Amino acid sequence: MKAETLRSTLGLTLVMLLCYFLQSAVFSRLRIFGVSPLLLPLVAAGAGLLGSSGWGGAFGLLCGILCDAALGGGGMLFTVAMTVMGFFCGFLGDFVLARGFPSYLLLSLAVLLLSALLQMIRLLIYDRAPAWDLIRMGLMQTLASAIFILPLYFCLRRSLRCWRRSRERTSF
Amino acid sequence: MRKVWKTTGLVVLGALVIVLIFTLLGRLTGRENIFTRSFQTLSAPAEKLFASGAGKLEEVRAALRDYEALKAENEELKAMIADMDAEVRRSQGANAENDRLRQLLELKRSHTDYVLLDASIISWGSSNWSSTFDLDKGSFSGVEVGDCVITENGFVVGVVTEAGLYSCSVRTLVDPRAAMGATVHSTGLTAVAEGDFSLMTAGQLKLTYVFENSVLELGDTVLTSGAGGVYPAGLVIGKISGIGTEEAGYGQYGIVTPAAELQNLSQVFLILEYGEVEHEG
């Protein structure tokens, strides 16, 4: 493994672990607007968009495992969903979207809304929970999580800068 | 000039002689010396001032002399206070634990069939869509999926949904997926107490499937009925804090506020086994 790739991997791992601890230990008790924000999907989306589909898939899988652990209940929902989301964000970054903040903001909001949708589907279908209550919770969760988009963008961009530079050098 | 000196010298000498005579007479007769007394009276305020200043200076000197000793003593006292604080905290923790264990002993006395295991909460789930937490005991300690979790007072907390080797996950009674057979203590009315997503954020649950003609009363205590086999009968779920009418228009439903203060829990007890023994009290 190249030194640049190793540095970027370490940087991203550090950001991911920080987000995990914030999500599981801090925000499970210290809520924002009465809800706990979701941070790990933002890391998966960022790894995909600012890195590549490979980065997105790999870190999507790791973030998914950690997210399922943080949310409790022993589900596998995010392990699968975030791997796919991370990979897809990478695909969009590789071929469709520019690797800048507007794209990251757009993808982050999409990923957060999709995560909320996935979380509410089972409650809506099996538990007959009121749709409006679920939608309100989903929006609140997205809003509380969106606060972290900007700081995470800079952290992720900084982590992946070495790898991206070395890739640009080799491509020329 | 010489004359002037001579006159002055004579006056001074005369005055001295007079003073000496009066002083000598005072001594001989045992009376106070008028000159000394006058001087003392006149000089008393100044003396007091000087004495006070000297006292202050003495204090400062003493303070300077004792500074190091005081500093050392202060440090020692600070350490002692810190030790005492720690001791008080330990005592408070021990007292709280003692209270919990005493209540648990009462619970064990009234439910001799219970096999209980104490556990501490490691972390709360961060999901906004469910209410779960993890405990520090797992299958290694005999925990199994479906074990009931209660407080030291016998208030229902939840049920084990997943058991690892050294930890387990618990779904609380307010989680939207939680459901248990319930009975209203005052009327003996049977119903189902289940979690509701809309009530979960307020930390409450719903008492539903109540018979059509039955009437719920605010403040009634809701207990587990034992139906379903997960929760033993007679455990306290909570009190009815609200009453509504079902959407379909038939029958009532109750809003139950759990007796267990979920937000303040730190230690809970798992019922590993229970039998069909008649409960006392």
* Model confidence band, residue A143 (pLDDT cutoffs 50, 70, 90): very high
A chain contacts of residue B178, beta-carbon cutoff 8 Å = none
Q: Which domains, and CATH codes, for chain A?
A: 3-161 (1.10.1760.20)
pLDDT value of position B278: 47
Question: What's the mean pLDDT when you consider all of chain B?
Answer: 81
DSSP codes joined into one string, B120-147 = EEEEE---SS--EEEES--GGGT--TT-
Query: Is this prediction's ipTM beyond 0.90?
Result: no
pLDDT above 90: percentage of residues in chain A: 20
Question: What's the mean pLDDT when you consider all of chain A?
Answer: 85
B chain contacts of residue A141, beta-carbon cutoff 8 Å = 128
| B155 has a chain A CB within 8 A of its CB | no
pLDDT value of position B2: 66
pLDDT value of position B281: 40
pLDDT for A36 beyond 70 = yes
Tens-digit pLDDT profile for residues B206-265: 888 887 777 788 888 888 888 777 788 888 899 998 888 877 767 788 899 998 888 888
B chain contacts of residue A70, beta-carbon cutoff 8 Å = 125-126
pLDDT for B132 beyond 60 = yes
Q: Rounding to the nearest 10 degrees, give the CA dihedral for residues B247, B252, B258, B262.
A: 0
Tens-digit pLDDT profile for residues A84-138: 898 889 888 888 888 888 999 999 999 999 999 988 887 888 777 788 888 989 9
The C-alpha atoms of residue A9 and residue B227 are separated, in whole angstroms, by: 53
Q: Average pLDDT for residues B97-126, to the nearest whole number?
A: 78
Burial of B73 (0-12, 13-18, 19+ CB in 10 A): exposed
Domain boundaries, chain B: 2-25+32-60, 114-273
| B161 has a chain A CB within 8 A of its CB | yes
Both tokens of A95, joined, read 């071929």
User: CA of A168, closest CA in chain B: separation in Å?
Assistant: 39
Of the options 3.40.50.2300, 3.30.160.100, 3.40.630.190, 2.40.10.350, the CATH number for the domain spanning B114-273: 2.40.10.350
| B5 has a chain A CB within 8 A of its CB | no
Cα–Cα distances (Å) from A46 to A76, B170, B240, B249, in that order, read 21, 33, 48, 50
Q: Average pLDDT for residues A65-86, to the nearest whole number?
A: 81
